[in-house]
Chains A and B, each alone.
Chain A
Amino acid sequence: SQQGEEDPQALSIQEGENATMNCSYKTSINNLQWYRQNSGRGLVHLILIRSNEREKHSGRLRVTLDTSKKSSSLLITASRAADTASYFCATGKTGANNLFFGTGTRLTVIP
């Protein structure tokens, strides 16, 4: 299986703090994506980083990618209660749209 793993499995922080989630994967990739899933809902795309990029920003999100370590991190700054959700990384390979998802990090932001 090419499924990745997120760390930690669960994270609880106070509103206003930063949240960092890590993702490790096993094979070479073309891109890595992060998705958010609110309880009982479908996944929503957050950000995509390509294998030749090292860092990417989108609003309060910052993603890094280290292909030599086969790892990525997602930083959410100034967290809000509305950020409470599960976050998944997913990897894609060249020439294919198929994604391989990690096991997810459950983030709880306490107001």
Chain B
Amino acid sequence: NAGVTQTPKFQVLKTGQSMTLQCAQDMNHEYMSWYRQDPGMGLRLIHYSVGAGITDQGEVPNGYNVSRSTTEDFPLRLLSAAPSQTSVYFCASSWVRGGTYEQYFGPGTRLTVT
């Protein structure tokens, strides 16, 4: 199993550009999520999904869009990048069966917006 994979590892954008961060998992997990991590802070939830076709907002959803067309993939789209979106982005997945289970994290994407 590859687990949770993310691409790209690094990205530099100019203000106003758009891009998609890719996330895939091969563990057949129903739940997938995106977090951002900023210096001195923990991870903050951006968007999440409990299954294909179902997405919802987390703590900090503004400026980001998601979709979940398959169980495996959960891309995160930045519509018009802003310097405030400079961060490290992590994708995570887990099962959803009558409780809360450990989450498996990808290696992260380091995004810089200039």
| Residues of A near any B CB (own CB < 8 A) | 1, 3-4, 30-31, 33, 35, 40-45, 48, 88, 90, 92, 96-104
Given A42-B108, A43-B90, A3:B103 Cβ within 8 A:
no
Known A1-B59, A42-B90, A43-B90: A97·B103 in contact at CB below 8 Å: yes
B64 CB-CB contact with A under 8 Å: no
Q: Inter-chain contact count A-B, CB under 8 Å?
A: 66
Q: Does B71 contact A (CB under 8 A)?
A: no
Cβ B45 vs Cβ A92 within 8 A: no
In the bound complex, what is the Cα–Cα distance between A35 and B31 (angstroms)?
18
Given known pairs A31-B100, A41-B108, the reply for A103 and B48 (CB within 8 Å) is no
With the chains together, A4 CA to B40 CA distance in Å? 13
Please state if B48 and A101 are interface contacts (CB–CB under 8 Å): no
Residues facing A in B32-72 (CB within 8 A) are 33, 35, 40-45, 48, 50, 58-59
Do A104 and B100 touch across chains, with their CB atoms under 8 A apart? no
B residues sitting closer than 8 Å to A (CB atoms) are: 4, 31, 33, 35, 40-45, 48, 50, 58-59, 90, 92, 94, 96, 99-108
The 10 closest A-B pairs by CB, nearest first: A101-B42, A42-B105, A45-B102, A92-B100, A101-B43, A97-B31, A43-B105, A42-B107, A103-B42, A102-B42
Q: Is the CB of B100 within 8 A of A3?
A: no
Residues A96 and B100 in contact, CB atoms below 8 Å apart: yes
Bound Cα distance A9, B48 (Å): 28
Instruction: List, in ascending order, chain A residues with CB within 8 A of B99's CB.
Output: 30-31
A45 and B103 form a contact (CB under 8 A): yes
Question: If the complex has contacts A31-B100, A88-B43, A97-B94, are A41 and B107 also in contact, measured as CB distance less than 8 A?
Answer: yes
CA of A30 to CA of B90 in the docked complex: distance in angstroms?
23
Bound CA–CA A45/B104 (angstroms): 7
**Contact among A48, A88, A98 with B33 in the assembled complex (CB-CB below 8 Å):** A98
> How many angstroms between the C-alpha atoms of A4 and B33 in the bound complex?
19
